[in-house]
Amino acid sequence: MNKLEIAPHMLYRAAKSYVQAEDDFDYIQAILLAGSAMYICEPLLNEQGKKSQTELRAERIIKLREAKSKMVDNKLEIEWAAKPIAIKKKKDIRKFVREEDRKVYNSLKHAGLFYRGNVVKKASDDLDMVSILGDNLDFRGAAEEIIIDGIQDYMTLDFNGDIKPYNLPIKVRRVLGCIFLEDAFEDI
């Protein structure tokens, strides 16, 4: 089985868990499925010279931080690239956005934090999700975000082999083509 076939099925199941969720565990399942699909798509996007949703989000933040705005004749004018950011700062922004976008998924898939083989945070000190999501513990919001990003990343890919999105089952294509996740499951 090809991973380009597995990823959209994982996104379908993530969306289904999200839409039909009865509790936070369904959202957690959705996060793990969608995150796995994203990690299939992201290296392929890089190979194809395309940007993932995370990379695009970082580029938008950089663009906004480099912009200068002013009011002229009661109208807002924006001068893009007016305040260039140093290359190192751009790298820091990209790294921060990537970590933020992936932190819920990464914290759910393992316990503990390791850097180059060294323990940064012991597994037993890394069990509480409040430190990741805050007091609100919004698994629903985290699931929605990662599913949408996963769908966008998958649909951005170029498909050169036997796997084509239009050959996928209709229930999977509905998820890949929907604007709102709930729409993919109406009338089913």
Q: In the prediction, which pLDDT does 171 show?
A: 96
The string of pLDDT tens digits covering residues 99-109 is 888 888 988 98
**Alpha carbon distances (Å) from 176 to 11, 40, 123:** 8, 16, 36
Average model confidence (pLDDT) for the chain? 92
Write down the domain spans for the chain: 3-185
Question: What is the band of 112 on the pLDDT scale with cuts at 50, 70, 90?
Answer: confident
Residues 16-24, mean pLDDT to the nearest whole number:
97
pTM: 0.86
With a cut of 70, say whether residue 178 has pLDDT above it. yes
Tell me the range of 20-24, 69-73, 101-105, 114-118 where mean pLDDT is highest.
20-24
Question: What is the band of 93 on the pLDDT scale with cuts at 50, 70, 90?
Answer: very high
The string of pLDDT tens digits covering residues 59-76 is 999 999 999 999 999 999
How is 27-90 classified by DSSP, letter by letter? HHHHHHHHHHHHHHHHHHHHHTT---HHHHHHHHHHHHHH-EEEEETTEEEEETTSSPPPHHHH
